[in-house]
A and B are shown apart, each in its own frame.
Chain A
């Protein structure tokens, strides 16, 4: 029996889908069987980020309405043998096509076959949100270091705390820019964590390569040299229960001169 984790944020555009794709991929790399579920019916994206758009035949609404079995609708990601699957959302209907009860039933069914079911939640707190959280056991809240995103994260955490079947949510802070934090132009990690007072699961630095790889349909996790990739892999390991320290955010100063300076304690 696996675990179902919903990835949500309240605000749109903070990186829910990218986070879902990358954590899912990272878990698959670590040898877990993972199923990604896109619940953003009508505005599906997860398939695009995963590069699986052209293989979709059936979708979530087809399954719920009984036009096919779950197994038939699942799209297998061939890069990871038998470890990663995607249940795409329908693009032609809207959020009201599915009810929370149906979603719960569907997720419970998937939990039988997979170690992790990652549910990509749509933005907002309406029907789409209610569908996404209905079957979840755990929740991850994604926010960016912007006041508006933090405000919405706070709202979502409040709603998640009222859902009795979900464990206390954990936080991912996405798109931190270390130089802006240093200048005091951006909220820093401590400030956000203190404000929201939930456990921090990980911090991901702002990285142009994330956008590049999303556009190519290859999650950034597949490129082990990128900082964002390491951050996502660390998050996956923390989900598995390992204790992995947070990566330092500052870019290492390069060059021999700075190394000598560091040696003498000059900044």
Chain B
């Protein structure tokens, strides 16, 4: 009986090891490596090393081959990613182009959410107040002179913009600013700035939008033009 059990266990282990942790597939974009996500990271490294050494001799003098890593449900720290990259790069003509994982940390996910969500705020941004959001801003209210609104993405104001609006705060020049009443003291998109003319303009009561044109200038125009200028404002799934 004892012998039987031992034998059974041994067979099982052998059978498991036959299932490779690393599978290689050649595609027309290069090489895709599927890395198993149930084994330990060390086992994975060991087997990757072996596989690459085995196949090295055959294709060592060809042109650079790009490698796509698919790691499944395994979370890789930046250090581990770097380790994999250097390991593969050592094999002369292979270079890692992408690492794809199904998982991310909660922190990254929240950051991602913050940067891509539309934050709606209902208030009047008064003189001396600053409203700063990471993603797009939908303000239900006014921005009074002396007030500032800042967004990492676009700014949409369902009210009067009489203060300062800064869209694309982290350098996104594609960002736009739209307001029902566009009377800003200053507009900023990315690192481009524009201010109101010193003379009083005629009272127009139509919705307007501001964007950076091909001459790297902020221009203000009819809201309806946005559909052509920034077609990607229409999207169901945001972000990536």
Contact = CB atoms under 8 A, between A and B. Distances in A.
Contacts of B114: none
A176 interface: no
B52 interface: no
B129 interface: yes
B182 to A, nearest CB: 16
Interface residues of A, number: 11
Contacts of B147: 158
Interface stretch (B62-70, B120-128, B149-157): B120-128
Contacts of A196: 144
Secondary structure at the A interface, as helix, strand, loop or mixed, is helix
Contacts of B144: 154, 195-196
B127 A152 contact: yes
B145 A151 contact: yes
Contacts of B142: 197
A157 interface: yes
B72 interface: no
A155 interface: yes
Q: What is the size category of the interface that chain B forms with chain A?
A: 10 to 19
Contacts of A155: 126-128, 146
Most buried by B among A159, A161, A197: A197
A229 B123 CA distance: 36
Contacts of B162: 195
A151 B127 contact: yes
A197 B128 CA distance: 16
Interface string B112-150: 000000000000101111000000000000101111000
Contacts of A197: 124, 142
Nearest to A151: B127
A196 B144 CA distance: 8
Contacts of A157: 126
A151 B163 CA distance: 11
Contacts of A158: 124, 126-129, 147
A157 B146 CA distance: 13
A158 B128 CA distance: 8
Nearest to B163: A154
Contacts of B129: 158
Which 10 A/B pairs are nearest by Cβ-Cβ distance?
A: A158-B126, A155-B127, A154-B127, A155-B128, A154-B126, A158-B129, A154-B144, A151-B127, A157-B126, A197-B124
Interface of A: 151-152, 154-155, 157-159, 161, 195-197
25 contacts: A151-B127, A151-B145, A151-B146, A152-B127, A154-B126, A154-B127, A154-B144, A154-B145, A154-B146, A155-B126, A155-B127, A155-B146, A157-B126, A158-B124, A158-B126, A158-B127, A158-B128, A158-B129, A158-B147, A159-B128, A161-B126, A195-B144, A195-B162, A196-B144, A197-B124
Given A155-B126, A197-B124, 20 more contacts: A151-B127, A151-B145, A151-B146, A152-B127, A154-B127, A154-B144, A154-B145, A154-B146, A155-B127, A155-B128, A157-B126, A158-B124, A158-B126, A158-B127, A158-B129, A158-B147, A159-B128, A161-B126, A195-B144, A197-B142
